[in-house]
A and B are shown apart, each in its own frame.
Chain A
């Protein structure tokens, strides 16, 4: 999952990015001002935007308004130090999906972020089931055929994304865009490497779904037990 943080307090943004990366396996981009942030939000397929309201150049509420005007349905979590009732209502009315006031609890923020992303994929339950595969996005635990599989962060990220899009063909470009932030190095065959590794681990447990390769189109996680 790919997240954009638009926040001018760079240490706060960095801390959120760290925790989201470590605890939710999200790929995170950071923007320190409104103009840059709006541009990034407009040009990249983010699953979630964490938006500060008091920003240099373009304010958070204006960013929200322009995003919604442009038809972007990306989930937006507003982050602000202003918590007057009117501000919260105005933020939600402008199209925010959730609201957290500073100072906040990091664990709560991460939980809210995960919940927003799940909802964005129309999966309100933290557990995604595809055949014998159960991906618990809250605990970041993967079970296949009743047994726990331990996955490295990137592999988990890929499997979670494929599971969220279960039954759909996901292109390699989409995977690269969703799973990597700007800072990550992207090797041309990195997706193939992870897919290979995942396939091997899933088939070793048995009963799980299969990752199909659709030549020229991408990959699809499919339940073949039925």
Chain B
């Protein structure tokens, strides 16, 4: 539907108001003028009646006198008159020049209800399309009642009145038309800043957003909120666009880095004949790079899917304590199953039976590869849903270089806890947190998981994942959940993290209407706390 332009709507409104106003003014003026004209006519009639009565004092001159009196020069046409006595059917005097028809008409006028003696009544009468104003006066004189009837044509007055009305209409329509034109002009003029803003907006492309485009527009005060809102919207779009561009750049950087590493490794290997062991090492390193790319692609996909939909796919009740225990056991089992990554497997091998450690053995699908972590073979998580392919591969397992111990994952304070959520997403959330804690805590440290229920009416469930890692700088804490943000860029390749783990955590928490916070002190280590709504 094409809406009526504002200028026409405003003009129509102005026109209606003006028409109503001028109609009222004209009506009042017309009424006043008409009343005054009638008053003039009546006072003339009254004067004539008095003149007639006075003229009758002298009967000899009366006929002539009456004719003079009623022949009002100003009206150009003489009035008609009749004078008779009550009870008599013969006129004393009458304007007789116009014949019987005229006389008969004058007689008919008598039929209207007569005035009280001493009174004069005025009434309208018409004849042959002509309007007359008639005065009928009855005067008592010596016990007899004299009737004087004078009729004057009101055509002249009506004509003047009509002319006046025409003048009023011309003025009113002129004023209305002028007001409409003025209204259109005012609307167009006042909308010029809008047109300017629109013109400016048309030049803005997604390459170059930002409020700077609107800064030199100087809109009038009324349009300031509108232009400001547009500017704010542009600024928000600009920020989102920049974030997106940055994200794309970061993603390509993160993908190219292992790709460059893999390519250089293979090209260096084939650049000249080498020993079998050197080829093997090159292939293993390349597989590690491929694994890193694989993980990154999975996580990018996970984020992309979560960006697409705002809520988890499947919300259902699940036991959070059991989920966490399974994840902890899987992480510990991965450590036990990969002694090759340890320079000395003794330290962790003995701790498997510790009652405080949730070490349910989880068979790892080594896929026949003798060197689990270095080869980075997929761990049978394929197709289990998003991110599960990472199961049993905590990031620390791919830490290179010397290292004796691996951190253990310990569950402490695990009351039975039921929450509503998506099992896959929550598993990924806590797996990421555990992997992070394992990667950033000391090698011989402990990662502690605990559940705390809210007190009283507070039904929230807080899951804390704690590691004994060092202090994260305060300014980094706020950005840790940003995509590809790393508190310490130099460890990017050392920890094998993708820089997306915590971003995914934040997304999943958001989709479960929860909260996540991170605290870090040198004395106690780093704790990530996730709060979810309990059942």
Contacts and interface: CB of A to CB of B under 8 A. Distances in A.
Interface of A: 8-12, 15-16, 18-19, 22-23, 32-33, 54-57, 81-84, 101-107
Contacts of B254: 81
B263 A8 contact: no
Interface stretch (B217-225, B453-461, B488-496): B488-496
A32 B490 CA distance: 8
B260 A104 contact: yes
A108 B257 CA distance: 18
Contacts of B264: 11-12, 15-16, 19, 103-104, 106
B77 interface: no
B2 interface: no
Interface string B241-267: 000000001001110110111111101
B181 to A, nearest CB: 54
Contacts of B271: 19, 22-23, 106
Contact of A82 (B253, B259, B268, B493): B253
Contacts of A84: 249
A35 to B, nearest CB: 10
Nearest to B258: A9
B258 to A, nearest CB: 8
Contacts of B492: 8
A63 to B, nearest CB: 14
A208 to B, nearest CB: 29
A9 B489 contact: no
B285 interface: yes
A106 B268 CA distance: 7
Given A12-B257, A106-B271, 8 more contacts: A22-B271, A22-B272, A55-B489, A81-B254, A82-B252, A83-B252, A102-B260, A106-B267
Contacts of B260: 9, 12, 81, 102-104
Nearest to A55: B489
From B259, B490, B492, name the one whose CB has the most chain A CB atoms within 10 angstroms: B490
B251 to A, nearest CB: 10
B261 A105 contact: no
A103 B256 CA distance: 6
A33 B260 CA distance: 18
Contacts of A83: 252
* 4 tightest Cβ-Cβ pairs between the two chains A and B: A56-B490, A102-B260, A106-B267, A103-B260
B267 A54 contact: no
Interface of B is mostly: helix
Contacts of B272: 22
B490 A15 contact: no
A15 B265 CA distance: 6
Contact of B489 (A12, A56, A82): A56
Interface in B493-509: 493
Contacts of B259: 102-103
A81 B261 contact: no
B74 to A, nearest CB: 97
A105 B267 contact: yes
A11 B490 contact: no
B285 to A, nearest CB: 6
A8 B493 contact: yes
Nearest to A16: B264
A81 B267 contact: no
Given A19-B268, A57-B490, A82 B249 contact: yes
A110 to B, nearest CB: 9
Contacts of A57: 490
B268 A18 contact: yes
B265 A56 contact: no
Contacts of A10: 493
A8 B264 CA distance: 15
A102 B257 contact: yes
B255 to A, nearest CB: 8
13 contacts: A8-B489, A8-B492, A9-B261, A15-B261, A15-B267, A22-B272, A23-B271, A32-B490, A81-B253, A81-B256, A101-B256, A102-B256, A106-B268
A97 B268 CA distance: 24
B490 A81 contact: no
Given A102-B259, A106-B271, A11 B265 contact: yes
A56 B272 CA distance: 33
Nearest to A105: B267
Contacts of B261: 9, 11-12, 15
Given A8-B492, A81-B256, A107 B267 contact: yes
Nearest to A17: B268
A8 B488 CA distance: 12
A55 B490 CA distance: 7
A103 B268 CA distance: 13
A83 B253 CA distance: 9
Contacts of B267: 15, 19, 105-107
A25 B241 CA distance: 47
Contacts of B257: 9, 12, 81, 102
Contacts of A101: 256
A106 B254 CA distance: 20
A32 B252 CA distance: 21
